A and B are shown apart, each in its own frame.
Chain A
Amino acid sequence: MSRGAALAFLKGCREGMHLFGQNIALIINTILLTAVYVLGVGMTSLIAKMAGRHFLETRMKKGEKESYWKDLNLGKKAVDEHYRQF
């Protein structure tokens, strides 16, 4: 086998392993995230719904309110508050 062919073979192996790694990561991520979704999000959601708690206002009853504007009053804050991500 020539040097060029050997390098091409090694390059192909490396690319194949990389692709294989990506696919494995995708499968594991999907399994783990599905478990988190079902156990974490699902359980919390079910308990919250049983308690009558809603996380989004998805229902619309015409005439329910005079205005949908919500108070915000977002003005100047201390610099330190802007170092937070929330």
Chain B
Amino acid sequence: MAKDSTAKPVYILGISCYYHDASAALLKDGVVVAAAEEERFTRKKHDTSFPLHAARYCLESQGIAITDVSYVGFYEKPFLKMERVLSQHLEMFPRSLKTFLSAVPSWISEKLRVPKAIRRKLGYKKGVLFVEHHVAHAASAFLVSPFSEAAIVTVDGVGEWTTTTYGVGRGNDLTLLKEIVFPHSIGLIYSTITAYLGFSVNNSEYKVMGLAPYGNMNPDTNEYYHKLRRVVDIKEDGSYRLDMSYFTYHYADRMPSGKLCALLGGPATKKGAEMTKRHQDIAAAVQLLTEEILTKILIHVRKETKQENIVLAGGVALNSVYNGKILRKTGFRRIWIQPNASDGGTSIGVASYIHHMLLGNKRGYVMRDAYLGPSFTTTEIKGFLDKRGIKYSEGFLDKRGIKYSEFKNEKEMIENTAKLIYGNAVVGWLQLGMEYGPRALGARSILANPCNPEAKELLNTKVKHREKFRPFAPAVCEDDALTYFDCDEPIPEPTDFMLMVYPVRKKWQKAIPSVTHVDGSGRLQTVRREQNPRYYDLIKAFGKLSGVPILINTSFNIRGEPIVCTPHDAYKCMMGTGIDYLVMDRFLVCREDNPKDMWDSEKYAED
């Protein structure tokens, strides 16, 4: 039966905030029409504050007011979380005094006053719906996945009490069957080692993942793996328990205890210290331990649920190195992970949960791309460039002797941008809506030539100002991926969101040195034309010039800053770094052509 076209659409706003990566998402009749993280607007990385800008963007994108929203949902149950926090203090008295003094004021002033904040900041007068944290994670993965049935596993640091769950989703229904509760947490083991290695917690876990392949990834010979194994009791069904004498996160603001430091052979590493072989082996050990636990969990879940499809959510689901091994190790046949699998993605989870589980609506939406953030029209970008007095378009003569003009059409824009990249220029690329989630996927990206052996060092030192060991990601058209990478077949859809690491085929490793990690792997992004035609065509055009249809794709930001959102952010980022050109819609801006706006971002690059 045809839907009544006069019926008023049902809008649901999902909100997550006050821990890390605050975000808002808007559903219109079950379809995610807008979603964004607050950090992109406030320019504070991992901003925890109420997502006022993100929520406003969601409403404005649809031309609606808060009064048009039927339901607002929040991604966790604050009182349950408060119960856990109080339990920590009761158990750990008097050692938890410092964290009590630092944490309690924010609980009193904001975390226990969510409905009031929503009423005051958004003007929403109705009641707010609260969904358990891991249910929001599970919903954020299953309810927007392509599967009608799937096993669900959620793993993160901690929600209210839960740290790990598994369950089953069928149709528009999901049930979480089992859980592991705080303080036992895979996510927090990983974060503890992240802190031990001198990186920032809830931010730099991916650096540990990137460092691990430099270390000894053989569990038989990595001594630190055997040491960490003493800290955790792992059962055959994947359930686990930590010996908490090695940790302090349940009562202090630092994570490894003196006992863990002694076990690992020295005090916690100072921030910014050089990574030695020992650090690399410790990173490898925690990656091995995580993989061991997750493999056991997934094999158990496969056996218990008898499902062939698996969906994953929670911060640990961003471990792309392990994600690429799941299908080969666990017996599942298909996998789905949402592009914003961490807490930021729970705003979509809670909104989808309300639409499907509470209102009983059938599913009809699959999250095929992540371009859910603000986008800018040609007129808006031209308006910005004119207002700023930036030189662009007509008569611009590149120092390589190629004359450019304002791109007359898409074809010209793509061909010329491909030529610039082929000539080893670093190009900032702003097109479509901003990505939802931590990865730049061809809407707010820095693009470069992967065949250039110098590109990795150039990008790490002059553009991103980040550690030398960190690899860059290759972007490849989906139809070319199997030529260059040893992927699962068919290629899992999370690869589109840069969530799966696969080996680069040996034959091609030397051809694309800048995106081949030390262990011969690459965290590739596959691109389908229907998702982002300009980006897809650009990669193909570059392939025609270079013979290798792959681009380096790294997030359009400097270290310690969120990914750019607006043309202004993009221009500012380019002018402060070694990015040579900025392509926004059909406009090309050259850094050297605008010396008055140049600045040096290096001193601000800090996590």
Binding site for B on A (CB under 8 A): 29-30, 33-34, 36-38, 41-42, 44-46, 48, 54-60, 62, 65-76, 79, 82-86
Contact = CB atoms under 8 A, between A and B. Distances in A.
A67 B114 contact: no
B179 interface: yes
Contact of A37 (B89, B131, B182, B183): B89
A73 B168 CA distance: 10
Contact of A54 (B91, B178, B237): B91
Contacts of B182: 56
A57 B89 CA distance: 13
B100 A41 contact: yes
The 6 closest A-B pairs by CB, nearest first: A68-B239, A86-B79, A55-B87, A75-B175, A45-B93, A58-B244
Contacts, number: 133
A68 B100 contact: no
A73 B177 contact: yes
Given A37-B97, A79-B129, A85-B114, A73 B90 contact: no
A67 B100 CA distance: 33
Interface of B: 73, 77-80, 83, 86-94, 97, 100-101, 104-105, 112, 114, 127-132, 135, 162, 165, 167, 173-184, 233, 235, 237, 239-244, 250, 354, 357-358
Contact of A75 (B78, B173, B183): B173
Contact of A85 (B77, B91, B181, B354): B77
A67 B358 contact: no
B80 A60 contact: no
Contact of A82 (B105, B131, B184, B233): B131
Contacts of A69: 178-180, 237, 239
25 contacts: A30-B101, A37-B100, A38-B94, A41-B86, A41-B89, A56-B182, A57-B181, A59-B244, A65-B235, A67-B239, A69-B237, A69-B239, A70-B180, A72-B176, A73-B175, A74-B175, A75-B175, A82-B73, A82-B354, A83-B127, A83-B129, A85-B78, A85-B79, A85-B112, A86-B80
Contacts of A59: 244
A33 B104 contact: yes
Nearest to A54: B91
Contacts of B241: 57, 60, 68
A72 B176 CA distance: 6
Contact of A72 (B78, B101, B174, B178): B178
A65 to B, nearest CB: 8
Contact of A74 (B88, B91, B104, B132): B132
A55 B90 contact: yes
Contacts of A30: 101
A7 B92 CA distance: 51
Contacts of A60: 233, 241-244
